[in-house]
A and B are shown apart, each in its own frame.
Chain A
Amino acid sequence: MCTRAVGALSHFFEEEGIPTTGISLVRLHTETIKPPRALWVPFELGRPLGMPDDPEFQKRVIVAALKLLEAPNGPLIEDFPEDVPASTDDVTMLACPVNFRQDKGDVGEAEQIYTALKSEITALRPWYDIAVEKRGRTTVGASGMDPAAIGDFIYSFLSSSQPDNPRGDIPVTYTLKLAADDLKAYYFEGITAQPGQEHASSRTLTDWYWDETVAGKVLMAIKDKYENSEDRTMRGAARGFLVPREVARTRKK
């Protein structure tokens, strides 16, 4: 939906006297809004410059968009002529397989899931640390919690009592959202630090996270628990903040 925002912002800035150009990911939206100048790119949502870690490719996109500023008249939409190369990646299972088998019959299912989630987060920790070292940064941290605390906080939505909000500045539903985003980023950054998986495609990462990890299953379980809740804000969070639309639709039994 961001292409809509970009189109409207472009219009407002230009009306205020500032020349603008923009990337369009959804051509249809740009055709309707008609901002002064737009470069349509055939890349996936979330990657307006197409290729991470490819400065030359990124520069070609930027320059093509900026060149539109020298066009004599408009509004105009130009199509970027290149696409990104097809991906050939293969992300394998997590190094530490998680065992769901019930031991001795006296450990409840809930506790097993909690233990499995904690084990999974711990198993990923060295890979996540390597990723941070290698990239010199992390996108994890918007929630303000560390990964272990994020696991506890998220899991607590499955236990009977509703958890306290560790933040005072935003409602608990937003804290849950930031924690869910952070947890996923922690897993993605960690798994792509493993050998040969640096350039895993978004599709492969998505399938892995939602089909293979305990974290994905816990988030889906929270969605199931609250999506018809009488609490309007929790209902909204469960429906919109935890599981991507396409994932929820394609994993429905």
Chain B
Amino acid sequence: MVRLEKLSEEERKHLEEAKCPTFDTQPWVTGPPLSQRRVALVSAAGIHRRNDRPFTRATDTYYRVIPGNVKGSELVMTHLSINFDRSGFQQDWNVIFPVDRLRELAEDGVIGSVADFHYSFMGAHEPMDMEKQAREVAGLLKKDKVDAVLLLPV
């Protein structure tokens, strides 16, 4: 779908009118070849472990931690938006959080390794409101020796 021309006029307009942040800098960090990288997933799908706190508009915590050895059966989604498909996630969590694929790519030597921890944000929050905690997560990723993050929207 997200060929904008395939959406209804109203939905297209909704996306077109969404305010997007812009930045003065364009950071660019390089690293070793992919086969030596340690990769973490950061999702904006509002997923978390079943017993973790559901996402709300509360602004105290913007992210949830997902251990690298998580099982798909532990994941639920509490994203505030109801305007995107969830049936794909119901069939196969890898369609939004491809941790099994990442493990296979590590086994095949395409990437170096998979991080011990992944993170989930909830994309209905204003992007700039998440800045402080995003930088906090960056610190955690560094401690996990992550040098490649794959970000996934819904």
Residues of chain A at the chain B interface (Cβ within 8 Å): 1-29, 32-36, 41-53, 55, 58-59, 62-63, 65-67, 69-70, 73-75, 135-139, 141-142, 169-171, 174, 177-178, 180-181, 184-185, 188-189, 192, 198-200, 202, 205, 240-246, 249-250
Known: A12-B135, A13-B141, A49-B98. A66 touches B34 (CB 8 A): yes
Known: A75-B26, A174-B56. A44 touches B141 (CB 8 A): no
> 8 closest A-B pairs (Cβ-Cβ)?
A2-B123, A46-B85, A22-B151, A8-B127, A2-B153, A16-B138, A44-B1, A137-B73
A18 to B154, CA, bound (A): 22
A1 to B138, CA, bound (A): 22
Could you say which interface size class chain B belongs to? 35 or more
Known: A6-B152, A19-B30. A188 touches B2 (CB 8 A): no
A137 to B26, CA, bound (A): 41
Contacts of B149 in A (CB 8 A): 10, 13, 18-21
B residues 120-154 touching A (CB-CB < 8 Å): 121-125, 127-128, 130-131, 134-135, 137-139, 141-142, 146-154
Known: A9-B42, A16-B138, A51-B95. A141 touches B76 (CB 8 A): yes
Contacts of B14 in A (CB 8 A): 245
Closest-by-CB residue of A relative to B73 is A137
CB < 8 Å: which of A50, A66, A141, A205 contacts B87? A205
A46 to B89, CA, bound (A): 8
Contacts of A9 in B (CB 8 A): 42, 44, 121, 127, 130, 134, 151
List 10 other contacts, CB 8 Å, given A5-B121, A6-B152, A14-B28: A2-B124, A6-B153, A36-B26, A62-B150, A66-B37, A69-B37, A75-B26, A139-B77, A169-B53, A185-B86
Smallest beta-carbon distance A168→chain B, Å? 12
Contacts of B111 in A (CB 8 A): 66
A139 to B146, CA, bound (A): 29
